[in-house]
Amino acid sequence: MSKATWIRTAVLIGAVGALEIACRSGAIAASMVIAPSAMVVALVETLQSDDIGAHLSQTLSAVAIAMSLSIVGGFVIGFILNWVPFLRRAFSPFLAAYYAIPHFAFYPLLIVIFGLGSTPLIVLATLFAMVAMILATMAGLDRVPRVLLKTARIHRLSLLDEIWRIRLPAAAPHLLSGLKLAVAYSFIGVIAGEFILSTSGIGHEIAFAYDNFDNPRMYALILFVLAIVTTFNMAVYAYERRLMRRRGA
């Protein structure tokens, strides 16, 4: 492992160890935060319970759909805006101010339009995540070195070959960054929506546990969400590092 990886690992282990000691020694009350080891035990017990399967299925399926729509749709829209300058000039002010809009204020309206269930959560999460992928796609395509485009013209590559062999590989780091943001925002959109009005799902279970002072279950589900998002982002990061090493070679 690299020196940076060792440092990250040491910081993470140190932080978890310090929290464990603080919780076990009573420096932090159990009514506020439970020890990390207790979180792991509670997570195992929660995943083994009979009632959690439906909640996990609802949330993860909604996140998967929102993530797919935001990544694919964001890439396509970002590519079109980059390719058509006048459309980009028309929509750039909206994209720049997009995340200043309180998206969750539209959740009651989405319920009126789509009804109760997963659909308004998916729409909310997709709207929240897609623009991150649009902006990442545009940023990546903007930074394709001109010398590579000239080389493509010299070798008389077709438009599809130029896109596949030149533009997309050069824009890959930004596209992967957009993918990681889209995943994180999809989870935020779905789980935060479940916090507000949903009667099921991981977000609802976390809010219900909080209201009933059930700290073990609350922190167990929070740990579950963190573990999934971190695992996915680390997998993307590992692929990105491998891509950069291959490009450097």
Give 102-127 pLDDT, tens digit per residue: 777 777 788 788 877 788 889 989 98
Within this chain, do residues 5 and 124 fall inside the same structural domain, yes or no? no
Residues 6 or more apart whose CB falls under 8 angstroms from that of 178 comprise: 71, 74, 75, 132, 133, 134, 135, 136, 137, 140
Within this chain, do residues 54 and 128 fall inside the same structural domain, yes or no? yes
- Structural domains in the chain (count): 2
Give 130-151 pLDDT, tens digit per residue: 999 999 999 988 888 888 878 8
Within this chain, do residues 24 and 47 fall inside the same structural domain, yes or no? no
Helix segments in the chain, DSSP class H: 3-25, 36-48, 52-83, 85-96, 107-114, 119-142, 146-154, 159-162, 168-196, 202-211, 215-248
Within this chain, do residues 13 and 61 fall inside the same structural domain, yes or no? no
Within this chain, do residues 7 and 116 fall inside the same structural domain, yes or no? no
Within this chain, do residues 11 and 124 fall inside the same structural domain, yes or no? no
Cα separation, 196 vs 203, whole angstroms? 9
Within this chain, do residues 151 and 66 fall inside the same structural domain, yes or no? yes
CATH value at residue 54: 1.10.3720.10
- Each of the 249 residues of the chain gets a pLDDT tens digit; together they read 567 778 888 898 999 999 999 999 988 888 888 999 999 999 999 999 888 888 999 999 999 999 999 999 999 999 999 889 899 999 888 888 888 877 777 777 887 888 777 888 899 899 889 999 999 999 988 888 888 878 878 877 787 888 888 888 888 888 988 999 999 999 988 998 888 777 788 999 999 999 888 899 999 999 999 999 888 888 888 887 887 777 664
Within this chain, do residues 233 and 117 fall inside the same structural domain, yes or no? yes
Domain of residue 110, residue span: 38-248
